[in-house]
Amino acid sequence: MSTKYIVAVVIVATLALAIGGWALSSLFVSPPSSPPESNSTGQHIDPDWTFPLDIESVTPLPDFRPVVTGVMPSVVSVTSEIVVSGFLNQYTEYVAGSGILIDNKGYIATNNHVVQDAQSVYVELTDGRTFLADIVGTDTLSDLAVIRIDAADLPYAYWGNSSWLSLGEWVLAIGNALGEGITATEGIVSRLNVSVNVDGNILYGLIQTTAAINPGNSGGPLVNLSGEVIGITSVKIVASEVEGIGYAISSNEARPIIEDLIRYGHVTYPWLGVGVATVTPVLAASEDLSVDRGALVAEVVAHSPAEAAGLQTGDVIIRYADKEVANLADLVQAIRSSRIGQNVEIVFVRGEDTKTTSAQLIERPAS
């Protein structure tokens, strides 16, 4: 039985009781000694009355047209040509996605899954011109990639600060929805700093939005009403009972990764060398932990900064540098915001004791 059905039953039962009670009481209530006076004229008491309307208090919906007009020329359609090996032969698949021009030299930000394993990548501008694109760099962990076309004086989008976003703020998702060309959909910011597990890879610092995100939107921009890119659309939840839940990689998360891809062709991540899990009250009870928040160390990699710092399996990290650590996502984001070679202070709980150590981060191994 669904919740909706139970509520309906409760309402019907309540109405039945109310009607039954009224009917029963009517059998015992004596009529009034004298009937009330009535308005025998049948005229309205105030025939000129209307609902008050304060025009100044009415808030109009935002006008999205200037935003769409300003941003859309910088959004491109991306088509990746992928050769797939079948049982007896090879065949070609075409993956449609989106991208956003980030300067006038032809650099385009998109998603890694849009261009991953592509033999060729083609870019179509809103003016109809088509270019063969080079893959500058890709990053699986963040699902970001940069490609480039050989063109100049291109319209590009301005990058915004996603940390200024607020819940309920209007946003637009612009992209090559369903591979049918560049379209725009509106929505609001539903949640901030969300973590989502996609096929075993956790994406951090995501923006959840109600703006419709369809296949082909991946890699396109999520923009605010100032026309600034505050996210790159990446993921949506697909289920028959789910609507209006899509995610974009925040601009502040994406910006340093895009810079690394353009400068070096790959992303250099600082590395501590631990495998961790989020501490919950349930996990704390099952593992007999003395704290119910933090990042539980489940593995310490040999010859890693964590091992050198003396961390052990079963420790719970509760503070990293100047940041409180309440869960796995907090620790990962704190590490990623650090620098390779930086010496960081780590506060952790071992048994009943709170201890402090320090670790010097190194570059994340390629594996």
Report pLDDT digits (tens) over 47-92.
778 877 766 666 778 999 999 999 999 999 999 999 988 777 888 9
Q: Per DSSP, what are the bridge partners of residue 249?
A: 206, 232
Our answer to whether residue 150 is catalytic in this structure is no
Task: Quote the pLDDT of residue 6.
Answer: 21
- How far is the C-alpha of 127 from the C-alpha of 154, rounded, in Å? 11
List Cβ neighbours of 321 (8 Å cut-off, separation of 6 or more). Answer: 334, 338, 344, 345
Q: Give how far the C-alpha of residue 278 lies from the chain's centroid of Cα atoms, to the nearest Å.
A: 20
Our answer to whether residue 44 is catalytic in this structure is no
* Parallel/antiparallel/unpaired status of strands 228-236 and 274-278: unpaired
- How far is the C-alpha of 38 from the C-alpha of 261, rounded, in Å? 83
Rounded to the nearest 5°, which phi and psi values hold at 237? -90, 125
Q: Give the N- to C-terminal CA distance of the chain in Å, as an integer.
A: 49
- Pair 301, 307: CB distance under 8 Å: yes
List Cβ neighbours of 365 (8 Å cut-off, separation of 6 or more). Answer: 271
Residue 200, Ramachandran bin (φ over 0: left; ψ between -120 and 50: alpha; else beta): left
Task: Quote the pLDDT of residue 35.
Answer: 56
Task: Quote the pLDDT of residue 13.
Answer: 37
Extended strands (E) in 16-149: 75-85, 90-101, 107-111, 120-124, 130-139, 144-148
Per annotation, catalytic residue among 113, 142, 190, 260:
113
The number of beta carbons lying within 10 Å of the beta carbon of residue 145 is 29
* 257 half-sphere exposure, CB direction, 13 A CA radius: 25
Regions of the chain short of the pLDDT cut 70: 1-44, 54-58, 236-244, 367
What is the set of domains in the chain, with CATH numbers?
A: 66-148 (2.40.10.10), 158-257 (2.40.10.10), 270-363 (2.30.42.10)
3-state SS string for 281-306: HHHHHHCCCCCCCCEEEEEECCCCHH
Say whether 262 sits in a helix, a strand or coil.
Answer: helix
* Parallel/antiparallel/unpaired status of strands 228-236 and 158-159: parallel
Per annotation, catalytic residue among 190, 218, 234, 251:
218
Burial of residue 285 (number of CB atoms within 10 Å: 0-12, 13-18, 19+): exposed
Place of tokens 């590490």: 335
Place of tokens 């539980």: 296
List Cβ neighbours of 329 (8 Å cut-off, separation of 6 or more). Answer: 193, 195, 202, 204, 278
Say whether 72 sits in a helix, a strand or coil.
Answer: helix
Our answer to whether residue 143 is catalytic in this structure is yes
List Cβ neighbours of 13 (8 Å cut-off, separation of 6 or more). Answer: none
- Please provide the average confidence, as pLDDT, over all residues in the chain: 86
Per annotation, catalytic residue among 143, 260, 315, 330:
143
pLDDT tens for each residue of 230-260: 999 998 665 556 566 899 999 999 999 999 9
Fill in the DSSP letter of residue 37: P
- Pair 291, 318: CB distance under 8 Å: yes
- How far is the C-alpha of 216 from the C-alpha of 180, rounded, in Å? 8
pTM above 0.85, yes or no: no
